[in-house]
Every structure is written in C-alpha cells, then in structure tokens.
Amino acid sequence: MAKLRKKEQTAILQSLRAGVVPRVGQQHVQVGRADEVAALLGDIDNIADGGSSIRFIVGEYGSGKTFFMRLVYAISQERRLVTAHADLNPDRRLHATGGQARGLYAELMRNLATRSSPDGNALASVAERFITTALQEAGERGISAEQAIQARMAPLTELVGGYDFAQVVEAYWRGHDTGNERLKTDAVRWMRAEFTTKTDARKALGVRTIIDDDNVYDHLKLMARFVRQAGFAGLLVGYDELVNLHKLANVQARRSNYEQILRILNDCLQGQAEGLGILMGGTPELLYDTRRGLYSYDALATRLAQNRFAGEGLRDLSGPVIQLENLTPEDLYILLAKLRHVMAMEDEAAYLLPDPGLHAFLAHCSEVIGDAYFRTPRNTIKAFLDLLAVLDQNPGTDWRTLLGQIAVEPDAEPDLEGDDLEPGTAQGDDALTAFRL
C-alpha cells in the first residue's frame, strides 16, 4: 500500500469526524470485502475490454454501500476508467418530464473524475485529451487534425444523438484550434446538459438538439464511447440513494423510473453499452418490496431474483445484485486500529492509544449501546476520533480517565424525512456509517 500522505490523513479524519465518507485515502481504512471487491474488479476488466456491467449494491443503513462504491470509483480511476456519480433525490431521477433526469445527468457530469482529476469537473480535461490524442494520430498518419477527429467520432454517429454529439466535439476542436475559449466553454456546457433550450444550443454551436429528460441514457452511452476514444478504458457511473425512487408517491412516475432501470439493465446484461458500467446503491426495502420496490415490477423481479442455491453460508457474486453484510465487531476493531494508525501518520511509536485501550473502548461501547455499536457505528467512530483528538492535543492525559467520560448514544434508524438526514446530503444514512471496508 502507498504511503499515507498528509492530505489523505486530514481528509480521512475530518470526514469521519464530521460523519461523511472521505473522498480520498479510502484504501487506508479498508477492512474486509475481499470477495465483493474481486467481483467488481472483474467488472472493471470487462468494461475496459469494451463490455458492459451493472451491479445493484444493496445493504441496510450503515452496511457500507457508499464507502464501497467510493472505493470502486478509486480503483476504477487507477485502472484508467473515467467515473461519474450522483445521488438521486426529488430533483434528480432516472426518468422524468420536468427536468429531473437532465438534472441527474448534469450532476453526473459535474462529478466526472479521472485519476488526475479525482475531485470531479474532469469533462474539459477529457475533451482536451481527446484532442491531443487526435492530433497525435493525425501526425502519425499524415492527415489533417479535422480528418483525424472526424474518423474518431464516426463510431459515435451510429448511436442515438451521436451526430450532434460529434458536431459539438468538432466545435470544441475549432475553439481549441482558433483560441476561441467561448466556443470551447459552450461545447463543454452542452456536454454537461447545461443548455436548456434548443434555440440557445443552435446559436452557440449550430446543433439542433440538447441533452434532455428523454435522452440522458443515450448520452451516457455516447459519453462512454467518447472517453474510450480519448484514450481511457471506459466509463463507470454510480447512482446512490435509489431509495428515493421507492419513496415516489406517484405510481406512474415510480413505474417509469423502474422501466428506465429495466432498459439500462437489459442493455448492460446484453453487452449493448460499450465500455459502460453502472452501479446502483439502495436498501433491501428498495429491492425486495413487492408493493413499491423493484420487485413490484415483474420484469425486474425476474432479472434480479436471488440464486436459489445460494444460502446457508454460500454466496453468488456473479449476479447483478451484491448484498452487503453488516459490520462485525472484529471488523470494527480492525477499523479503529487503522484509524489509530492514520492518526499517527503510520508511526507506531506515535500511537495515542495502546491495544488495551482499543479493547476497553469497544467494551465500553458494548456496555452502553449493545451490538448496535458495530452494526451502525456512526457515533462510535466519531467518539473514538474525538478521544484521539483530545489525547493528541493534551499530552500526558490518561486515556482511562477519558474513557469513563464517553457517552456513546445508539444510532437510531435514519429519519429520512428529517432535514439533517435527507438522502443525498452529507449527513444521509449509510454515507455516515459505511466503514466496513
């Protein structure tokens, strides 16, 4: 494992103390999940080979969905994939007629990330890399840059919306070639779904269409092809908080979103989406509820059904559904030990708490709140980091004395209707407690 950097240490400690999943350094607090990670590595290889993949990451609140998905994004970027992720909420859905689907796509594009731009907003750099690759090819083949770009964009014109997409990329090239920053910016805005009217798009770029609610998935497939033409291995898209679809009160709206999921599922399972991988995170309620969940839609229930031969200790991770188990006490002990290691910048001589202190801390948590301390460990982890912070800033303080003062409250089931725990926010459900890795 690479040496811990100060930037990563700060991000990990600040994020976990605030109750959010760190965006960098996840590998330093990874615990378990070896089988699940291996299954997703196979998917990444398949995507890089031009295939497609879809996985539903299912788990209870606090089981580690968000952290697991973030870890997969980091691994994908290291393997030359471009990643994009977004949380669903009332204003962002897979299917809609009021701009919510376009809003979801725009959020994905804002979060587009690569290994060199892991924090998002990487669409412009992907376009620049495409231009650079095309110029290099033009020099090698002795053709003009425009001819090289048109040749690279030709496969995209075969897809729905591909002709206008190719025109926008050519407009970006013209802006690059002439130094017209406005033209480059407009091209990127179009690819980010920031144009809301066809009139504005035609004036700025000469194209007659925009990315709208009815074609967002088609443009995801186009973007997957485009990043491959730019020299990346493929595109991995993550949708989290799918429980918001389960909460839709309108039956037709919910059904339309499930039909969109079915379309994506069929395309990915049949290999029709070249270089595209999809991750969808949700709770068992979203999946198994036969009245409002995915199982209420017969076609999805058939495709997402569990393997009848798996059970009693036997697992099948080859299907589209990956069920994440809850944290175990052993996992939490290892995690706390790793957090202690991170706090000390990997210097064992600088540990603020000895091994007996870890055991005493966990015993205290068990006595105060029972087994909930490892199933939904949000407050447990925060209390542990608070303890380390006090020990760090007050040299000579006895941890035994402090330990008796810690009052770790049990985590109640997240109140998804509450302002502070709304899905898709920094404080929402498993994004706060997804630390099994």
Segment 92-114 mean pLDDT: 96
Cα dihedral 61, 64, 67, 72 sign: negative
Do both 72 and 130 map to the same domain?
yes
Do both 311 and 401 map to the same domain?
no
In this model, does residue 419 exceed pLDDT 60? no
Do both 279 and 187 map to the same domain?
yes
Do both 212 and 89 map to the same domain?
yes
The reported pLDDT for the residue numbered 437 is 33
- Residue at 107 is within a domain: yes
Bridge partner residues of 92 (DSSP): 89
Do both 232 and 379 map to the same domain?
no
**Greatest pairwise CA separation for the chain in angstroms:** 76
Do both 311 and 333 map to the same domain?
no
Domain span at residue 405?
329-411
CA distance to 38, 111, 223, 274, per residue, from 53 (Å): 14, 20, 15, 9
- Residue at 28 is within a domain: no
Domain boundary among the residues 326, 343, 369 is at 326
- Residue at 24 is within a domain: no
Do both 275 and 347 map to the same domain?
no
Segment 90-96 mean pLDDT: 95
CA distance to 188, 231, 232, 233, per residue, from 138 (Å): 23, 15, 19, 21
Do both 303 and 339 map to the same domain?
no
The reported pLDDT for the residue numbered 376 is 59
pLDDT tens readout for residues 125-135: 999 999 999 99
- Residue at 21 is within a domain: no
pLDDT tens readout for residues 234-246: 999 999 999 999 9
Could you tell me the pTM of the whole model? 0.84
Q: Which two tokens stand for residue 370?
A: 């029972």
In this model, does residue 62 exceed pLDDT 70? no
Do both 67 and 165 map to the same domain?
yes
Do both 70 and 206 map to the same domain?
yes
Segment 327-334 mean pLDDT: 81
- Residue at 126 is within a domain: yes
Do both 317 and 348 map to the same domain?
no
- Residue at 149 is within a domain: yes
Number of structural domains in the chain: 2
